[in-house]
A and B are shown apart, each in its own frame.
Chain A
Amino acid sequence: MYLVVVGGGKVGYYLAKELIDQGHEVLIVEKDRGKAARIAEELGSVVMRGDGCEAATLAQAGTGRAEVIIAVTGDDEDNLVVCQLAKAKFNVPRTIARINNPKNEAIFSLLGVDVSVSHTQLILAQIEERIPTHPLLHLARIREAGLEVVEASLEENSPIVGRKVRNLSLPPDTKLLVIIRGKESIVPVGDTVPQVGDEIIALTREGLEGELRQALMGTAG
């Protein structure tokens, strides 16, 4: 597979190194002469000096035959432009951007970037996982459908404790997938009654996490 990596900083360098080790054909595009020279010295002729935000550079890099373009410069706006140019001018099937501000993820998706990766968000998620009482834990995101899988653990003040699942009012497009009670897993049906200490794994629509948290935990925060 041919991949173009824009940005030869630490992320771009190690990413390219791994991809080359996996047997892929990789080209790194790096603006800075010194950085480009260092990469060439260590990885061989897999680097091209140029501004990946310019269509001419991307053309020279053979972006037209790339299956994936990965923009990992330190600036969100540059990564956005790389991905948009790759898509609009070179029909690259898959565009991946690194983002620094996690709030940019929604915009990148709206503006046609296929995948955006935020290290800030990844670290935050790790912190969340280590805090056992955090009310709503994000487990997975189903991007195309705009859905999220989240987990909540029920405490005494939860409004759904002791009520049958069929009587619960949940946000739209929200489904309770499984209840974990001790070592047991229960697929909830209409008659299932959630209890204190239950872990609930639910599917919900992106943006409705607040409403779901309110419904399951009784707290808005």
Chain B
Amino acid sequence: MHVVILGCGRVGANLANLLDSEGHDVSIIDRNSDQFRRLDPDFRGTAIVGTGIDQEILRRAGIEQADHFIAVTNGDNTNVMAAQVAQRVFHVPRVICRIYDPVREETYRNLGLETYCPTTLGTAMVRQLMEKPLPAAGARPGR
């Protein structure tokens, strides 16, 4: 399958490396070429410098043939706009969009985007960890 990833931060690069090692065809876009240092030295996919809200850049990344589009830049609004372009203009079958702001995430989920919110997920996970039974007093590190 062909996957276009927008944003070569920790999540974007990690996902690109993973999908590439699984044998998938990956294009990754970032407006800062320094970010591509996060990619594995043997990464076989395509790395494109540019902004993901520009349709020319998305085309160059092969969005017209893409099965998945993943928007994971550090800007919620960039992700939201790029994801909607991928969905509504290029009709990519699966579009996943990261939104840090929980309220915005809910709004765009209701508008039909497939979204996830690291803030909500992280909060829930920490809360869950807090519920785990404590180890026996003697086994606690640092005491």
**Chain A positions near chain B (C-beta within 8 angstroms):** 53-56, 75-78, 80-81, 84-85, 88-89, 101, 103-104, 107, 110-111
Contact = CB atoms under 8 A, between A and B. Distances in A.
B88 A77 contact: no
Given A53-B76, A101-B54, A103-B55, A85 B104 contact: yes
Contacts of B84: 107, 111
B85 interface: yes
A80 B88 contact: no
A81 B89 contact: no
Contacts of A76: 53, 81
Contacts of B85: 107
A55 B55 CA distance: 28
Interface residue SS majority, chain B: helix
Contact of A56 (B54, B81, B82, B103): B103
Contact of B53 (A56, A77, A84, A88): A77
Nearest to A56: B103
A81 B77 contact: yes
Contacts of B107: 55, 84-85, 88-89
Nearest to A78: B77
Interface of B: 53-55, 75-78, 80-82, 84-85, 88-89, 101, 103-104, 107, 110-111
A110 B78 contact: no
Contacts of B75: 77
B77 A111 contact: no
Contacts of A111: 84, 88
A110 B88 CA distance: 8
A78 B76 CA distance: 9
Nearest to B52: A77
A107 B84 CA distance: 9
> What are the nearest 3 A-B pairs in CB distance?
A77-B77, A77-B81, A81-B77
B143 to A, nearest CB: 42
B89 to A, nearest CB: 6
B110 to A, nearest CB: 7
A89 B105 CA distance: 12
